[in-house]
Amino acid sequence: MEWTRELRCKPYADWGAKTLLDLQAQAASSDYKLGYHIMPTSGLLNDPNGFSYYNGYWHVFYQSYPFGPVHGLKSWNHMRSKDLVHWENLGLGLNPDFEYDKNGAYSGSALQIGDKLFIMYNGNSRDENWVRHPYQLGAWMDENNRIEKLPEPLITQPDHVTEHFRDPQIIKHKDEYYAIIGAQDATQKDGRISIYRSKDLLKNFEDLGYLHFTDENMGYMIECPSLVFINDKPVLIFCPQGMDKNICPYDNIYPNNYVIGDSVNLDAGRFEASDKTVKNLDEGFDVYASQAFNAPDGKAYLISWTGLPEIEYPTDKENWAHCLSQVKELSLTDKGELIQRPVKTMADLRYDGLPLTQEQGMDHIQNLVSDTGSQYELKLTLDANQKGILHLEKNGSNNQSLKLVFDTEEGSLTLDRGNSGKVFATEFGTKRTTLVAKNAPIELDVFVDNSICEIFINGGKKTMTARFFPEKGQKSIAIESQSDVKYRGTFWKMQSI
């Protein structure tokens, strides 16, 4: 199919029920469908939106185009959960159905206010010359999950930004409401974060200018800003496009980054930090557009799109694409390091636990698990001063696997998906490397769900995420080394949600 502009903008009602049912059946029968991650029932999934807690449920929406693996006319699909693990699909949440979002209900956020959930999102509207006019729009969701849009925009495009003005996060801070919005400066054509303040959320959003959080140039655009507070410290998560790799090394087409501050003054546009180093949120391949929020109890949670813009994935040929990461709880160490951990209820999915121990050392290739199934968790501690390869999803011929190359002497981990099944996105490399403490053990918590792998390193000090698409028969875990390797851990199969 040739995805023309006209086809991408075709109203949902004009597609017909049979077309959608056929697409849903295709995704449901995919060899790469996921068991315990949110994936689209059909078509494209991208940014997580409206991640929030309301009316006794956790809510997350995702950007959806249900008719193909392309960026067409976007809507929001609604998911809810009691435990941040088991998700119920409530279907279409925000439909692009009026003047200000007629070309797409784009990304945004949500916040409980009183007995309703307030939603703020970006409406994409184009004129007869196909010029984009971005609007920051509002809506209210009631306890029956009915959503009513506000009739007029909350914020229109100011003169000092270009049409690239999107992804609002609405927060309450010090008894005021603030919106932080990804933007491109109209004069400098560089990436910024705009700040607006309001007392009533219905009108009178005051433009406070940009948030100054770094002295570095953030490229030509910043998408998906999220500001959360951990132990009263502000943590800013964002996606710069076109950022110089000397500022923060990255190999993905676009990175997902963060900065940890000491304090923030949104009225003055100041993000104060003794160390304004821009860091990668994930050291793997596919994390982008992450959205974080502070729950009513103050804890910070994060969920990510595990896909990247402008990249073709093997499931595109099956007319579906991408998924969301599992939810991660955020914390800070005493030294101010960001920690990302699986939520505790992920353990409820485990069954058939298998202890793994090799205390006497081994060499060459040793199978840890001969038949993993397609969904599992592996906790493994590798002793200090060892080198080798952990093969995930290995086949019987030992020539295909998702490799994790470890060196606990020099302190490095390399995730290699170059020979893990179907090859894709090779123009951005097939390996990602991260550094850990030298001459020290490495603790790994590895989650595999058919076509996604999420690795938590040393209690969540680092994470590495990868989409990969194994061939049939890749169902074992092994360690390969030319010298002794000592390890201990546990393997569990994982239930579907």
Rounded to whole angstroms, what are the CA distances from 156 to 46, 126, 201, 203, 399? 24, 14, 14, 11, 55
| DSSP per residue, 165-233 | EEEEEEEEETTEEEEEEEEEETTT--EEEEEEEESSSSS-PEEEEE-B--SS--TTEEEEEEEEEETTE
Length of the chain, please?
497
Catalytically annotated residue among 31, 47, 352, 407: 47
Closest alpha carbon to 447 in 428, 467, 431: 467
Instruction: Work out whether strand 320-321 and strand 43-54 pair parallel, antiparallel, or are unpaired.
Output: parallel
Rounded to whole angstroms, what are the CA distances from 430 to 233, 275, 343? 35, 31, 29
Kindly state the tokens that stand for 370.
């001969």
91 burial type by CB count under 10 A (0-12 exposed, 13-18 middle, 19+ buried): exposed
- The residue type of 133 is H
| DSSP per residue, 462-497 | EEEEEE--PPTT--EEEEEESS---EEEEEEEE---
d(CA 101, CA 447): 37
416 is catalytic: no
297: number of Cβ within 10 Å: 6
Q: Which residues contact 231 (CB under 8 A, 6 or more apart)?
A: 331, 332
Closest alpha carbon to 356 in 368, 365, 372: 368
Q: Which residue has the tokens 């005051």?
A: 206
d(CA 193, CA 269): 10
Please name the helix (run of DSSP H) or strand (run of DSSP E) that holds residue 452, with its range, or none: strand 452-457
Alpha helices in 214-302 (DSSP H): none
Q: Annotated catalytic sites, by residue? A: 47
